[in-house]
Structure 1
Amino acid sequence: MADTDATFDDFLPEALRFHSPAPLVDIGANLTHDSFAHDLEAVLRRARAANVTTLIVTGTDLAHAEQAVALAQRYPGLHATAGVHPHDASRWDSGLAAAMGDLHRRPEVVAVGECGLDFNRNFSTPEEQERAFEAQLGLAVESGKPLFIHERDAGRRMREMLKAWRDDIADAVVHCFTADRDTLYGYLDLDLHIGLTGWICDERRGHHLRELVKEIPLERLMVETDCPYLLPRDLPAKLKGRRNEPALLPWIVREIAHWRGYGEGELAQATSDTARAFFRLSSVEGPTPTGHAQQKES
């Protein structure tokens, strides 16, 4: 994978070269996205420079989950999830269920998902989504691994389905939470974790999160970029290409800490501790600290 020191030096303006006071875990990084194909190693170096030491690479269908596993095998500090996004729920069948079950037995896979319900776009019908999600709830019970959940405009049905399974699944996080107070409290009542993104940095649609963030117990809060999506709108400098990346996670943490009334370092440490416990990760890691791929031992 070709890249140069200039890629690292020039891509992020000086004002966007953040450094977290404590190592961070980005629980949602879509690093298999095509936009990362040409400079992934530089992206990982920038993450390391920002003290983002651990990345959970999201697998949203079979192909991307397999790619996420391959990245986790190649680069220290990377781990994978494996699931079928509700947009692709219409593709769920017995063969896909078996392939996902096989992936969940891999040590690189630390969560079942991204799976869930999205009644906003309905690229798959609600019935297809519920069928695929129900099946993946069963796979989470079978594997004993936590759930990585997507939900849009489906909070009530999501809570109904999760309530029926809650005693059997290990843990679950609603990633990229953007909903209202009632939905938040419904998830917290089910002892779910909450993932926050740069949505909170968007004054147009994320303003309500600035109040809600105070109501999320610290031991239930995790942070993520959801890169390459959701580039924070309030960054102190423009970024060419408008692609979000893990090196910008400290800015999101700074924003959350501000609205929560915490110190940035305290929030960074707490969210990382929570993420490591949630995904059963043992030690501080680092994605490609030298800028070169490091083959993990099998």
Structure 2
Amino acid sequence: MQNWEGVSEFVAVVEQGSFTAAAARLDISTAQVSRQVSALEGRLGTKLLYRTTRKVTVTELGQVYYRLCRQALDGLQEAELAVTRQQQVPRGRLRLTAPVAFGEKTIAPLLNDFAVRYPELEVELQLTNQQLDLVAEGYDLAVRLGRLKDSSLMAKRLASRTLYVCGSPEYLSRYGEPHSLSELERHNCLRGTLDDWRFQEGGKSRDIRVGGSLRCNSGWALLDATLKGMGLVQLPDFYVQRYLQSGALVAVLENFRRADEGIWAIYPQNRFLSPKVRLLLDHLAQALPGTD
């Protein structure tokens, strides 16, 4: 058990920001926390923390060690919960990541509902369009859209999304409605981070290179430009559905619309899925529209 000595103390110092606060959380003396952390650094042969009279700073190796230790301690907590038959009461840290726009509009409210239902959880949501390393950075779950890359992670399809190409009635009245993919060449296509739009033709997927006067990495900005008659756009349903229903936007090239894409939950492989992750997966699958 010597390898575990000092781990809880080190994690507490990192999370509380000081030896004194860590000691208060663990209900032990500050001197004991300091001794245990020093002994841990001695066993590892590296500096985990820089100490000054004013603050404690975690070293680069200390950050790596902290993330791994945090995962290990979380695993021990989940094991204790399973053994004591408390697996239906999620508690502890729950870290997940999701794309920015979809996360703000859809995932964050659902996660807030989940947190209200289970107040013993400590929830952290990181909104980013980068695909983070869940294992290395200590995330329990990621929500991802569209096609998945091959990986060793587990994947659960939560729901589906539909990609629409659409424009405002004013734009289509002025420039005409395209009826074939080749006609996109003469239209102002408002682009996000990709130059290709995704379609299906003759039962096969087809990507079409498009161009236009506006490129922006915000779907909401592209939607605003489309509503103002600047051009055509290809966006997922959660951006445009209400405007298609109201008539503020008109869907075009519907015969070439690609089959619905998946909304996925990705999580590290574990033999026993923790209660908090399992219940969150169920919550998201039930709440999201278009669930398969």
Q: Same fold (TM over 0.5)?
A: no
Q: TM-score range by the shorter chain?
A: under 0.3
Higher strand fraction: Structure 1 or Structure 2? 2
TM-score normalised by structure 1 residue count: 0.27
- Tell me: higher relative CO, structure 1 or 2? Use CA pairs within 8 A at least 6 residues apart: 1
